[in-house]
Chain A
Amino acid sequence: MPAEARVSAEIALVELEGAGQRVSAEIVLVEYGALAAYATSMLVLVELQPPSDCKPSGGYTYNGVDITAYCNLADLQLAPRELQRRTLGDTAQGHKVGLSDASMRLGGDWNAAIDALLGADARAGRRRTGEAYFDDCSMVVRYAWSEVFIAEWKVTSPASGKMQWSATLRHNGLGVRSVELS
């Protein structure tokens, strides 16, 4: 039996009768097992990332469409409400944190494609999905919401200069924040 073996046993009683005699016997079944682990070889892999020409960037995916190419501005604001917490007896101001308000400020050069995506939805008051992402070339942080609507849509058309668009997106719910390697 190997040193690392475990043993389990079963005992069976067999009785035989015949010719006025009675014989009994015990049969012992022994099961060998080995609760052991053998380690034969080890290696450590060093996972390397080559240099890249990645530039830190942010962007936004609206209703499943990545509109980053239309943007030169992508500001995410997560603003928890500040609630006053004081009694008449307090001698100093006190605050507590309330529910968070998540909004996204986007903007860029106007064209018909971005107008079809955002302008049309702003006019109709549609609710969509939205995801903001920020990439520093090592990690990507994503904020995703199942419901977003356009609180403000603005197109400026100056006499001298480019036509610009800007939008404020309001998100409902906490959303999901995730982090992954870039």
Chain B
Amino acid sequence: MAWTRVYQLTAEHRVLTDLDNQGGATQQPTISSAQAHAGTYSYLLNGQPVAFGITIPTPRSRVRVGYWLRHGGLGNERVGYLYLAAVSKTQYEGANIGIRIDGVNGNIEVVRPVSGTTNAYETLYAVAIPSSLSLIDTWLHIGVYHFADELNGVLRLYVNGALLVNWNGDTRLYGQGSGTPVFSTAPSYVWVAGAYLGSGNNLDASTYVDDFYIETSTDESAASIPARSWDAMTPNGAGTNAEWTPLASTNVSNIDDNPNDGDTTYNKALATALKDNFAFTNVIVPSDHTIVAMIPTIFVKRLDTATDVQVRLLAYDGLTYKNGADQVPALDYSLPLFERMTTQPDTTAWNETDANAAEFGYESRGTYA
């Protein structure tokens, strides 16, 4: 089976509600417009230490993660930590296997909890940080593979497509707090963290993370990890349908807020099969880049615990609708729903002209009565 995108994380939403900070870190990242790999915003890691975690929906035994990292120097810092965990444990409690760029030791390291000892790690492998990774104030693409399904597993680190670490060994995840290996357990949690090792100082203020994604598989082999980035388009005009009920004013004016304004403005659906679709701001595709997918995202909630109330995202090219899967919104606006559409409604690949001409929207699905 192919790699399946299970989540992508973008600062373009300008919220931190989709991050988890139960890792014991002193603080989460903040949203910053000072730097962005693509679009306008990125995550600024500035703290001592700073970390965020992401739950992996539908865990599978093989995981690959890609993101962009921009650091201001590695002299006294450990940045680009990435840990995979069987449970949503902290990166300090010895529950995870990980790979980290350790500026203090000058190495890239594969680390694992010491069996039976909390908060203790052993270094399984270390290689000197190459000059390509030492570049400061430069966006570097970081890719990590983790195969947890065998004793002779794989942990790999790619930087800008170059394979820097190819470690083979026992990549089993560890049980919660026990230091006991859990064979064949698919990782369900990813931690990204940075830390300054000196006392009383913070991470370099110019450490940024952008365009983070997680893909899973059960049997794919490890090849190079694709670099991806996301620009963003916002609604700026009415589309073909405005069937949801606006709280006030027009449908488009209620959903064009970014970051989302919660219940201040919204459109509501009280029946199934109601569509809203909109025109969006144009994107300019950088030279030689290609559009891999268009990903409509929406902050939507249901008001009742019943899961019959559903929503799907859609694209419309003026002739044909491309409909996403029916999804059940949460009871709050913390997590956006998304649908990754790798082709247009007419099944051809996306291009800049068609992406800008298309309408995107959503439809109420399921049962509302």
User: Are A36 and B309 within 8 A (Cβ)?
Assistant: yes
Closest CB-CB distance, A142 to chain B, in whole Å? 9
Query: Per a CB cutoff under 8 Å, which of B230, B259, B336 touches A47?
Result: B230
Q: Does A138 contact B (CB under 8 A)?
A: yes
A-side contacts of B161, CB under 8 Å: 52
Which of B179-187, B195-203, B293-301 is near enough to bind chain A?
B293-301
> 1/0 per residue A128-150: CB within 8 Å of B?
00010000001010000000000
Q: In chain B, what residue has the closest Cβ to A39? A: B300
B 297-330 contacts with A by CB, 8 A: 297-306, 308-309, 311, 329
Q: Which residues of A contact B360 (CB under 8 A)?
A: 42, 44
The answer to whether B10 touches A48 (Cβ under 8 A) is no
A48 and B291 form a contact (CB under 8 A) = yes
Q: What class of interface size applies to chain A in its complex with B?
A: 20 to 34
Complex: A60 Cα to B305 Cα, angstroms: 51
A4 to B364, CA, bound (A): 14
Q: Secondary structure at chain A's binding surface: helix, strand, loop or mixed? A: strand
- B342: Cβ under 8 A from any A Cβ: yes
- The minimal Cβ–Cβ distance linking A178 to chain B, given in whole angstroms, is 6
* Range of interface residues on B (Cβ < 8 Å): 35 or more
Judge whether B296 and A42 touch: CB under 8 Å: yes
A138 contact set on B, CB distance < 8 A: 290
User: Does A86 sit at the interface, judged by CB under 8 A?
Assistant: no
Q: How far is the CA of A45 from the CA of B259 in the complex (A)?
A: 14
Quick one: CB contact mask for A23-67 with B, threshold 8 Å, 1 for yes?
A: 000000000011111111111111111111000000001000010
In the assembled complex, how far is the CB of residue B165 from the closest CB belonging to chain A, in whole angstroms? 18
- A179 and B2: CB pair below 8 A? yes
Which one of B27-35, B98-106, B108-116, B265-273 is at the interface? B265-273
Q: 19 other contacts beyond A45-B10, A47-B8, with CB at 8 A cut-off?
A: A4-B270, A35-B303, A36-B269, A37-B268, A37-B364, A38-B263, A38-B268, A38-B303, A39-B299, A40-B262, A41-B333, A42-B234, A43-B13, A45-B295, A46-B285, A47-B230, A48-B291, A178-B1, A182-B226
